[in-house]
């Protein structure tokens, strides 16, 4: 909502080639309490004036020598790139009303105009215009905020990824079906998987692994449970036992829908005294 003072502080431009009409409109607006009233009797200057002052309302006479109100409105469209031209036309020709609206005017008043009607139409147009500007400004600020938050999120994600890469041998993400979607480090080599495979209980994934440990890891993921420093092992072809330590957490979207897993892992074989050939 708008405060009455906001409407009275609006920027208004009167455009008419007759000085008596300009003075009449200026006096009327001042009596109503409007504080920022400008005028010109030269229609050729309207676009430059509007580009500099961004008027909230332009009271525009249609019949002027040299450059009529229709030409003024066409030029104003080049200034108002958001397509909202805040023009209230003043005309004594009834057949000009529809044409004026088609040309971009938002409303019209007939000459000679009624004081109450003019007052009401000016107030209504200014209310709409100022609300439009307020919404537009809000959307711009919202867009800036979204861009800033997105940049912060990306920076945070980059720091997180950098940290996980430094603190582990690999970082991994899976989708809801168990397919790897992001990896960093020798994930597939250490897991003994092909790049297109999933960390599940198929025969390829179980080759060499401790079946019970691997089943427990798969059960954690299938049950969408977080796990910390889970250790499981496999026997390599040379008889050496390899030990891997992994931590993972389920990922949910803004609707609390499960969308996958992410985690880190490291080879801790060198820390295990029992990692020796059989």
Q: DSSP characters for 184-230?
A: ESSHHHHHT--TT-BSSSSHHHHTTB-HHHHHHHHHHHHTT--EEEE
CATH code for position 225: 3.30.450.20
Query: Comparing 211 with 203, which gets the higher pLDDT?
Result: 211
**Are residues 210 and 124 part of one domain?**
no
Helices 19-32 and 115-167: crossing angle in degrees, nearest 10, is 70
Q: Give the count of domains, the chain.
A: 2
Question: 11 by DSSP, 3-state: which?
Answer: strand
Question: 264 by DSSP, 3-state: which?
Answer: strand
Q: What is the pLDDT of residues 77-133, one digit of tens each?
A: 888 776 677 899 988 787 788 888 888 888 888 888 888 999 999 999 999 888 888
Mean of the pLDDT values across residues 21-48? 94
Q: Are 244 and 267 in contact (CB under 8 A)?
A: yes
- Asked, for residue 152, whether it belongs to a domain, the answer is no
Return the pLDDT at 203. Answer: 42
Q: Is the N-terminal amide bond of 112 cis, ω within 30° of 0?
A: yes
**Are residues 186 and 66 part of one domain?**
no
- Alpha-carbon distances of 231 from 245, 247, 250, 264, rounded to whole Å: 4, 9, 18, 12
Mean pLDDT of the chain: 83
**Are residues 175 and 93 part of one domain?**
no
Name the β-bridge partners of 257: none
Q: Are 167 and 160 in contact (CB under 8 A)?
A: no
Pick the closest to residue 111 from 10, 13, 18 (CA basis).
18
**Are residues 131 and 9 part of one domain?**
yes
**Are residues 193 and 122 part of one domain?**
no
Q: What is the pLDDT of residues 240-266, one digit of tens each?
A: 888 888 888 999 988 889 999 888 888
- Asked, for residue 195, whether it belongs to a domain, the answer is yes
What span, in angstroms and rounded, lies between the C-alpha atoms of 193 and 179? 12
Mean of the pLDDT values across residues 126-149? 84
**Are residues 173 and 121 part of one domain?**
no
What span, in angstroms and rounded, lies between the C-alpha atoms of 90 and 70? 12
Q: What is the pLDDT of residues 230-241, one digit of tens each?
A: 998 888 888 888
Residue 213 is part of which domain span? 168-271
Return the pLDDT at 278. Answer: 43
Return the pLDDT at 251. Answer: 92
Return the pLDDT at 71. Answer: 92
Mean of the pLDDT values across residues 19-41? 94
- Asked, for residue 149, whether it belongs to a domain, the answer is no
Return the pLDDT at 196. Answer: 58
Three-class SS string for 104-166?
CCCEEEECCCCHHHHHHHHHHHHHHHHHHHHHHHHHHHHHHHHHHHHHHHHHHHHHHHHHHHH
What span, in angstroms and rounded, lies between the C-alpha atoms of 277 and 217? 24
């Amino acid at each position: 909502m708008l405060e009455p003072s906001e409407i009275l502080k609006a920027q208004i431009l009167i455009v008419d080639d007759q000085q008596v009409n300009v003075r009449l409109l200026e006096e009327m607006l001042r009596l109503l309490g409007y504080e920022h009233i400008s005028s010109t009797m030269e229609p050729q200057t309207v676009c430059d004036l509007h580009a500099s002052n961004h008027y909230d309302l332009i009271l525009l006479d249609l019949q002027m020598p040299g450059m009529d109100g229709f030409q003024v409105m066409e030029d104003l469209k080049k200034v108002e790139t958001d397509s909202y031209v805040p023009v209230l036309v003043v005309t004594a020709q009834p057949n000009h009303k529809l044409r004026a609206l088609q040309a971009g005017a938002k409303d019209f008043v007939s000459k000679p105009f009624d004081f109450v009607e003019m007052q009401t139409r000016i107030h209504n147009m200014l209310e709409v215009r100022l609300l439009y500007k307020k919404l537009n400004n809000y959307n711009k600020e919202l867009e800036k905020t979204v861009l800033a938050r997105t940049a912060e999120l990306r920076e945070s994600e980059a720091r997180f990824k950098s940290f996980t890469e430094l603190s582990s041998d690999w970082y991994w993400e899976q989708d809801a079906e168990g397919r790897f979607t992001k990896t960093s480090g020798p994930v597939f080599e250490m897991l003994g998987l092909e790049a297109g495979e999933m960390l599940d209980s198929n025969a390829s994934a179980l080759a060499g692994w401790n079946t019970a440990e691997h089943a427990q890891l798969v059960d954690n993921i299938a049950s969408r449970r977080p796990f910390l420093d889970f250790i499981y092992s496999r026997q390599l072809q040379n008889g050496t036992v390899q030990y891997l330590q992994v931590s993972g957490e389920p990922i949910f979207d803004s609707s609390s829908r499960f969308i996958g897993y992410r985690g880190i892992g490291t080879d801790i074989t060198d820390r295990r005294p029992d990692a020796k050939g059989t």
